[in-house]
């Protein structure tokens, strides 16, 4: 076995370069020993996302404060778990949901439904808070029924 000695000043310089490239590209660095991975350097944001994903156990679901009000969404989209659950509750099959919402996969839809059942109390609260009869008064909107299952929404001035 060959021993390589690197002065600490050289190590600091190399580490600074590696960290700068890591931040610029987002590409992880694999530290190996005997051609086997021993450690990985990743950006802090990527590390947090991995920790969050592992804690949730739902690889297709994520949550970001600036997207969909911080609600859980299907990764790579802006489609909320709540929206998938609402469609499912209205009787749409997974195939119909996939046909209606482009960019989704069956795995994403099934993971959204699984996430709902794993977090049902919190999700039921979100669903309740988003019901039209609860949201409309807060925005000073009114519904005028025009046919069975059809309504026109307007504000106090009659604009819609």
Q: In this model, does residue 98 exceed pLDDT 90?
A: yes
Q: Which domain holds residue 18?
A: 1-42
Q: Is residue 8 in some structural domain?
A: yes
Does residue 128 fall inside a structural domain? no
Do 22 and 41 contact (CB within 8 A), yes or no? yes
Q: What's the distance, Cα to Cα, between the start and end of the chain in Å?
A: 77
User: Does 104 have pLDDT greater than 90?
Assistant: yes
**38 falls within a domain:** yes
In a domain, 37, yes or no: yes
Average pLDDT across the chain, whole number? 86
Establish if 22 belongs to a structural domain.
yes
pTM: 0.58
Percent of the chain surpassing pLDDT 90: 32
Q: Print burial letters for 76-110: b (CB count within 10 Å at least 16), e (below 16).
A: ebebbbbbbbebbeeebebeebbeebeebeeebbe
Residue 124 covered by a domain: no
pLDDT > 80? residue 157: no
**Is residue 72 helix, strand or coil?**
coil
Mind listing the pLDDT tens digit for each residue in 25-78?
Answer: 888 888 888 888 888 888 888 888 777 767 667 888 888 777 888 899 998 899
| pLDDT of res. 56 | 64
- The predicted structure's pLDDT at residue 113: 95
- How many domains does one find in the chain? 1
Residue 72 lies in a domain: no
């Amino acid at each position: 076995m060959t021993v390589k000695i690197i002065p600490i000043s050289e190590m600091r310089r190399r580490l600074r370069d590696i960290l700068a490239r890591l931040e610029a590209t987002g590409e992880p660095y694999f530290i190996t020993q005997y051609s086997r991975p021993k450690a990985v350097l990743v950006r802090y944001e990527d590390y947090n996302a991995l920790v969050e994903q592992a804690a949730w156990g739902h690889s297709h679901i994520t949550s970001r404060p600036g997207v969909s009000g911080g609600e859980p969404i299907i990764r790579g989209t802006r489609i909320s778990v709540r929206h998938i659950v609402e469609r499912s509750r209205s009787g749409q099959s997974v195939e119909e949901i996939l046909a209606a919402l482009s960019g989704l996969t069956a795995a994403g839809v099934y993971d959204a439904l699984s996430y709902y059942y794993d977090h049902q109390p919190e999700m039921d609260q979100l669903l309740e808070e988003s019901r039209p009869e609860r949201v409309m008064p807060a925005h000073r909107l009114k519904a005028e029924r025009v046919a069975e299952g059809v309504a026109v929404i307007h504000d106090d001035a009659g604009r819609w």
